[in-house]
Structure 1
Amino acid sequence: MQTRETFAGLSDWQVGLWYALVAVSVAIFVWGALRLVLKYRRGRGAFPTDNLFRRVARTAWIVLTHTWIRRRDGVAGLAHALIFYGFVVLFIGTAILAFQDDFAEPVLGWDFWRGPFYLGYSLFLDVFGAGLIVGLLIMATKRARNPARLDYGRVDGVGSRYERWRYTVGDWAFVGSLLFLGVTGFLLEALRIAETDPSFERWAPFGWIAGQGLQAIGVDGETAASAHFGGWWVHGVAALAFVAAIPFTKAVHMLAAPASVATRNDAARNRLVGLPPNPVPEEIGYGVVADLTPAHLLQLDACTKCGKCHVACPAAASGYPLSPRDLVLDLREQAEGTFGVRASLGVEPLFGSDANLLGNPIRPETVWSCMSCMACVEICPVGIEHVPI
């Protein structure tokens, strides 16, 4: 029958160890996600809850069509679509396999992961997995060219106190980790095929070709089985580490970006936000990080540092000490160091809850350089409201 064994070569205690590692990974992810929610709740006010159906429908359209990401950079839009849909399909495929192994078969006695379903499953995941790798290679190539909008150079002349090397490392770590998972996934498939050479695995075309290549150089049988065993653990632990790291790394935009689009003020790119009725001084503007609304705190985490706002800003292009991207990143650093995950772990730099935003990290001349043209708000692919912030 056309299928394969899920935990081939693993003993009972090794399977138990795997599920223990899964539990640890999920626990770290959940803790990090809860810390993010608690950070947003520290903001002033509440998340917008009006027109929920329209917000959800609009967000689904924007996310699924990549209409905002494709603006002014069609290549990046295509690459991101390949990565996005490749990741989503592989995640769903993993969830289907988990459902089969942990619920459908042991609880319901339903073994559907075989025959035509398995063949279609293999083809679908193989094609989208290849798309994921192609998209990542395109993104890596674009970043390796180091365009001005991705070099993180500051325009305000602050200097070495605000080193940005961590951002570059984080970007490469994100792309590299996904690429590692994609490549090792195909390598595992190729090793499994090279071991037993089942003819029906032609339905996984890329894995089949790689498997035939391994057989051609003598990697088959026991050699392939031994390599598959070690590679399975490397790939699996790397995947669990990636999941655990999502709330703490650039991967957080996978959670924050759709939420940012959903909570965005539709009028943000058309007009400035008015004052509340009968305002008191504490309600006007943002003096400390806790003055930001929950939606604006969320938007800080949604930023992917793509630099589109930096390029679109006429103030930055004219030599003024303002970059919308730097403004967002400075505020994010302060929010993280005040009541974010970094503050919870005591990782420097830390800020007091009463630390004034103006002066450190944001200088008055930076704010006064803004022309309120909304170019940054218009171009942002994740819905950040730079000017209202």
Structure 2
Amino acid sequence: MSGTADFQRRMPEASHDLRRPVSLLQRWHVDLPLLIGLLAITVYGLIVLYSASGQDWHYLKRQGVFFLLAYGVMFTVAQVRLQTMEYWSPWIFAGGVVLLVLVLYMGVGAKGAQRWLSIGGFRFQPSEILKLAVPLMVATYLSRRLLPPKLHHVIAVLALIAIPTLLIMRQPDLGTSLLIAASGLLVLFFAGLRWRYILSAIGILLAASWPIWNFVLRGYQKQRILTLFNPEEDKLGAGWNIIQSKTAIGSGGLYGKGWTNGTQSQLNFLPESHTDFIIAVLAEEFGLTGVLLLLALYAWVIVRGLWIAANAQDTFGRLLAGSITFTFFVYIFVNIGMVSGLLPVVGVPLPLVSHGGTSIVTLMMGFGILMAISTERRRVSIG
């Protein structure tokens, strides 16, 4: 119609008008569902630890300090961009390997093992660094190449994994070495490793089982494997831990004996009740219901980690998130398996529940990386 202004639809001129308001959690790159799961496990773990330690406030306060430090580290790592992690991963890996070599010559020994370095009065386990350095390094290497990886790339990755694994086995620390090897192999698996390589590796491992048994494993490690099949053969020696652990788990029933009322742990029948065998204390005092609750919390964290991996922005993030999440699952599976008599005792703590310092900080660093991967998409969209 003449004299009538044309109707025009216009988009807002300022691009930031289209953006959603940025929440405080987004600014600090915190994944809320993951944080809720971790906090729930932390609280539950502290409750169990108080009873498992014989109601010793010293252990509880010390664990609380470890958690405060660990959460601080997690929030700090979450601020780091993935490009920065990828750039520094070779240097972190190389530094970790150097520290492992130093352990062999300058390490501090305890209980027949030489696994620690003492610097300025501070003692730490360099092998904990490799729990993250190995998947970081392998993810960096594979993300820069066409996937699925070719044979020479697979061989290169296996060499990267073998170096720290063999150095840690020399300490000796079979449990940690296997976990570190698993963290690297999981990255390789998520990169689309062909099944013929996997089946070939299984065949080689089976063929090498006899030489490994005779020339690699130490006497006490062989004893642990033999005890798995017949713990009653040495009830007061090698089989004691497993027998007492299964007794505690079975006596808990459906609802348990009540908090701090467990007999196996409170009367000191159960060794290492506040560290490796703490799940037996949980089962005895809270029963099957308490164990299922903890497993549900673990499942919450694992499912969230897999969601983060599936929605990562690039190959590096997907490989790294998948490895960190499944390595967390392996920790849980191995600990519960060995405590219940399904796997040999290899000294793997229950994540975020067993008493410990360096292991908790390392785990939370991994979750900080997960949060960084989860919020990477928001960083790109927010600017």
Q: For this structure pair, what is the TM-score category when the shorter chain's length is used for normalisation?
A: under 0.3
How high is the TM-score relative to the length of structure 2? 0.24
- TM-score normalised by structure 1 residue count: 0.24
- Higher RCO by CA contacts (8 Å cutoff, separation 6 or greater): 2
